[in-house]
């Protein structure tokens, strides 16, 4: 079914352009509020946001929408996405809302919705909310209009929750950690959490001004973190993204460690300790073949889903798995959280580092990645993947890689881009295959 508002991770777009306008945000509040007003109790929604300038506008519009249909609103200000999920559940709210465009530049923004259980909404719920956005939603009569209040201790509640996931017999004393918070939602939660556990913290990206979120910092721009780790002699570097639901790690030599290596570390470690449930680890089609081979050698299955942490979580819940994630750094550890949480995942990595006594470079290189190449082809319109010329080139590439690699081609869920990924034991072959497919897609798009 075609979606007008919701993509792979909520509603997202350029601020003050459809759908990310104050008017649409108000209608989202009205529609989502009405959809979740079930039962006779007083209904409540909790709202958090990252540090984008447009967060003020979107937040106030959402508050207007929710209160207009009779739902009370609790506003927490800047807190990580997983904090919203946690607080929605712990405060017995009917709905949780995070205002964030994650790793995107400040000019973008987004709306992520969580149900009363702290999990992201199903496709069915999103479809029903979409239908309500474009309909006449009944408004509350005057005595039943909702109230709004701001709660200041959401940050403290979240810090306590994430610290409780760290093994109680361990401390971070003597560990020097460079921590990049992307000038985003974790700027005032992650540094104190690590410091309170005993670490020496070198903070980066903790001075948000509304327009510098993810700007040359954070998990999508780790160069500053790499330089800081090496220059300061840090034991490890951790970079979160704008809403802190994912992370990238840098070892003490300045080498980047992606989500696949982190999943390998946590998955194999938990399996040895008898903590891994569901018989495997859940990842997306983008995870490296090297991860699959490592896990298979230890009798652990790698279950793949389509791209999107919500689909990873759906599969985890269906199979009873407790470890899953994405190569990009979304880590879902369902023993502790209902969504991706970069801070909790980082604490699991740090626990393993402390217990092993090894340097990060030795601990975090769990497998040798198979050569993998991802390229994006931007297009203006049409459906280039449906062109016969593109289908022919893709079929030829699949035949060429059969048995020695993989091919994943998909449209982006958030922008007009075709993502072309190939991996295999022969790096030259992978590069040639990707180049041919990208050329074919670009040519088809140009003639659409």
Q: Are both 172-256 and 258-341 of the same fold?
A: yes
What's the CATH code, domain 6-154?
3.40.120.10
| Nearest C-alpha neighbor of 56 from the set 150, 130, 163, 187 | 150
Asked whether residue 2 carries a pLDDT value surpassing 90, the answer given is no
pLDDT at 141 over 50: yes
The answer to whether 367 touches 290, Cβ cutoff 8 Å, is yes
Q: What is the pLDDT of residues 375-417, one digit of tens each?
A: 999 998 788 999 999 999 999 999 998 878 999 998 886 678 9
CA distance 182 to 102: 10
Number of residues that this document lists for the chain:
448
Q: What is the pLDDT of residues 430-448, one digit of tens each?
A: 999 999 999 999 998 888 6
Q: Domains of the chain: which residue ranges?
A: 6-154, 172-256, 258-341, 372-446
Token pair for 386 = 């449906």
Residue 48: pLDDT over 50: yes
**Structural fold of domain 372-446:** TATA-Binding Protein (3.30.310)
Where residue 23 falls (left for φ over 0; alpha for ψ -120 to 50; beta otherwise) is: alpha
Q: How far apart are CA 290 and CA 284, in angstroms?
A: 14
Q: What are phi and psi of 419, to 5 degrees?
A: -100, 125
CATH number of 258-341: 3.40.120.10
CA–CA gap between residue 260 and residue 266 (Å, rounded): 10
Provide mean pLDDT across the span 335-361. Answer: 97
pLDDT of residue 7: 85
Instruction: Answer for the pair 246, 284: CB distance below 8 angstroms, yes or no.
Output: no
54, 89, 102, 334: the active-site residue? 102
Looking only at Cα atoms, what is the longest distance across the chain? Answer: 69
> What residues form DSSP beta bridges with 417?
378
**pLDDT band for position 234 (50/70/90)?**
very high
Residue 219: predicted pLDDT? 96
Q: Is 68 an annotated catalytic residue?
A: no
User: Does the pLDDT of residue 364 top 60, yes or no?
Assistant: yes
95-133 pLDDT tens trace: 999 999 999 999 999 999 999 999 999 889 999 999 999
Percent of the chain past pLDDT 90, that is, above it, reads 91
Residues ≥6 apart with Cβ < 8 Å to 353: 175, 235, 236, 360, 363
**Could you tell me the pLDDT band of residue 39, with boundaries at 50, 70 and 90?**
confident
**Is 60 exceeded by the pLDDT of residue 66?**
yes
Quote the mean pLDDT of the chain: 95
For 216, other C-beta atoms within 10 Å of its C-beta total: 12
Q: What is the pLDDT of residues 158-206, one digit of tens each?
A: 999 999 999 999 999 999 999 999 999 999 999 999 999 999 999 999 9
Between CA 93 and CA 72 the distance in angstroms is 9
Q: Residue 1: pLDDT above 50?
A: no
H helices of 300-387, in order, are 309-319, 342-356, 360-363
Q: Give the whole-angstrom CA distance, residue 16 versus residue 52.
A: 13
* CATH architecture of residue range(s) 172-256: 3-Layer(aba) Sandwich (3.40)
């Amino acid at each position: 079914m075609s979606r007008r508002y919701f993509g792979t991770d909520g509603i997202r777009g350029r601020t003050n352009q459809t759908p990310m306008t104050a008017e649409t945000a108000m209608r989202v509040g009205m529609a989502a509020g009405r959809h979740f007003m079930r039962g006779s109790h007083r209904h409540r929604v909790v709202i958090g946001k990252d540090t984008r300038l447009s967060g003020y506008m979107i937040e106030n519009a959402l508050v207007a929408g929710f209160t207009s249909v009779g739902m009370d609103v609790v506003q927490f200000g800047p807190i990580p996405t997983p904090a919203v999920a946690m607080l929605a559940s712990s405060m017995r709210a009917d709905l949780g809302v995070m205002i964030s465009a994650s790793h995107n530049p400040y000019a973008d923004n987004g709306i992520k919705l969580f149900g009363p259980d702290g999990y992201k909404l199903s496709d069915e719920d999103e479809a029903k909310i979409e239908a309500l956005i474009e309909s006449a939603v009944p408004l509350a009569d005057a005595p039943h209009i909702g109230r709004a209040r701001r709660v200041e201790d959401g940050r403290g509640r979240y810090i306590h929750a994430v610290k409780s996931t760290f093994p109680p017999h361990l401390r971070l004393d003597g560990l020097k950690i460079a921590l990049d918070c992307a000038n985003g939602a974790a700027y005032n939660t992650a540094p104190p959490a690590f410091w309170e556990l005993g670490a020496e913290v070198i903070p980066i990206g903790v001075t948000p001004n509304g327009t510098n979120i993810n700007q040359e910092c954070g998990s999508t721009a780790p160069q500053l973190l790499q330089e800081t780790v090496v220059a300061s002699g840090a034991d490890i570097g951790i970079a979160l993204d704008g809403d802190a639901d994912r992370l990238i790690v840098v070892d003490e030599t300045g080498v980047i460690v992606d989500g696949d290596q982190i999943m390998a570390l946590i998955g194999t470690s938990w399996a040895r300790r008898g903590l891994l449930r569901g018989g495997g680890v859940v990842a997306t089609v983008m995870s490296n073949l090297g991860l699959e081979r490592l896990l298979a050698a230890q009798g652990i299955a790698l279950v793949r889903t389509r791209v999107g942490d919500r689909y990873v979580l759906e599969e985890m819940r269906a199979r009873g798995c407790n470890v899953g994630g994405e190569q990009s750094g979304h880590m879902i550890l369902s023993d502790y959280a209902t969504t991706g949480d970069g801070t909790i995942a980082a604490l699991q990595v740090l626990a393993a580092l402390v217990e092993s006594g090894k340097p990060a470079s030795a601990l975090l290189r769990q497998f040798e990645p198979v050569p993998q190449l991802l390229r994006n082809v931007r297009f203006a319109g049409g459906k280039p993947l449906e062109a016969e010329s593109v289908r022919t080139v893709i079929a030829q590439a699949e035949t060429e890689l059969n048995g020695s690699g993989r091919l994943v081609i998909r449209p982006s869920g958030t922008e007009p881009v075709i993502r072309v990924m190939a991996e295999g034991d022969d790096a030259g072959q992978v590069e040639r295959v990707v180049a041919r497919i990208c050329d074919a897609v670009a040519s088809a798009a140009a003639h659409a």
